[in-house]
Amino acid sequence: MATTKVRASQLRGLARQQAPILNNLIPDSNLPGTTGNYRLVGEFFVPDMDIEFDGNHTINYITFIDSKNVDVNMTLGNDEGTFGVTLNNGIEAYFSSALLVVLGNVYSPVISDWSQQTGLIDNKGDELKVVSYDTSGSLRGLVIPDNIDFRFSFRYKISSLATDGSNPYLTTGTDKVHLYRLSDGVSKYKFRIGYNPVGAILENEDNSRPGSNVAFTEKFPNENDNFPSKSIVFERLSGNISVYFLLDPEAKYFYSNLSASGDMGVYVEVDRLDIFDIKYIELAT
């Protein structure tokens, strides 16, 4: 969701303008320190539109194509993370998490990557949505090879189908993301969203909770926070599995049961929350 503000110096002619809209950035991820072309796809672009990305990135030049397409040649900084972009056509609009910079190969799943559906769930590939509020649905997908360092990231939001006025963050935790062992289907590492009375719970294979779990749940945002702007990341580095906010990688919370997992897949259950902006990254470590 974009935030919009008007500068006093830009009031002339605003009656016939609308704030720029960004629908897509192509590509939306790349390696640190690289130079390349990025296409902004949206609406209400103008030839002299200001474009500014968060972070230490350098825009080399901008090519206006039409009111819906602008090309940007940019050199990325050396820091990993997600970065927002500000567009100003006379009205300023900010779009968070528009660009992912990461040292690895980034893959956004497509519809055919998911299978073994149970219940009701809307499969859009990189977004898995509630079909009937408070009715569970699940899918399994992707293959994470054994001994590969990786990140699996996602965001979530309250379903637009919510009608009862309840707070889905304080449920019994029926919305979940698991990493499961392909050989036998056992869930190895679980991320239970909206577990009462805290924001989320980490669970090991045996349903025990990691020693860092209390710290994680205390840090976890509740319904009063702008949570969907933050990506949640499963990460494996040198055999250790952790979960953290993408924008806060120093605060990692580790799973404590690290028995052999073999190749793994991703198992997503939705009930009240949509899971979106799903990405799988094989790290170049």
| CATH number of the CATH domain containing 94 | 2.60.40.10
What is the tens place of the pLDDT at every residue in 15-45?
A: 347 999 998 888 878 888 999 999 999 999 9
- Predicted confidence at residue 258, as pLDDT, reads 59
State the amino acid at position 250 in one-letter form: E
- Predicted confidence at residue 16, as pLDDT, reads 43
Residues 93 and 150 in one domain: no
pLDDT at 228 over 50: no
More confident residue, 127 or 162: 127
Averaged pLDDT of the chain: 79
Residues 97 and 229 in one domain: no
What is the tens place of the pLDDT at every residue in 131-151?
A: 998 889 999 999 999 888 998
User: Which value, to the nearest 10 degrees, does the dihedral of the CA atoms of residues 178, 130, 96, 281 take?
Assistant: 30
Closest to 94 (Cα-Cα) out of 154, 145, 21, 167: 21
Closest to 243 (Cα-Cα) out of 175, 195, 282, 193: 193
DSSP states of 70-132: EEEEEE--S--EEEEEEEESSSEEEEEEEEEE-SEEEE---GGGEEEEEES-EE-SS-EE-SS
pTM: 0.70
Instruction: Give the total number of structural domains in the chain.
Output: 2
- Predicted confidence at residue 226, as pLDDT, reads 42
- Residues sharing a CB contact under 8 Å with residue 65, sequence separation 6 or more, in sequence order: 71
- Predicted confidence at residue 194, as pLDDT, reads 62
Worst-scoring range by mean pLDDT, 10-24, 77-91, 178-192?
10-24
Task: Give the bridge partners for 114, in sequence order.
Answer: 141
CATH code for the domain of 147? 2.60.120.560
For 102, the token pair is: 């990461």
Worst-scoring range by mean pLDDT, 125-139, 187-201, 203-217, 258-272?
203-217
Residues 160 and 33 in one domain: no
Q: Which domain holds residue 87?
A: 3-101
Residues 61 and 129 in one domain: no
- Predicted confidence at residue 132, as pLDDT, reads 92
pLDDT at 281 over 50: yes
Last residue in a domain, options 68, 86, 101? 101
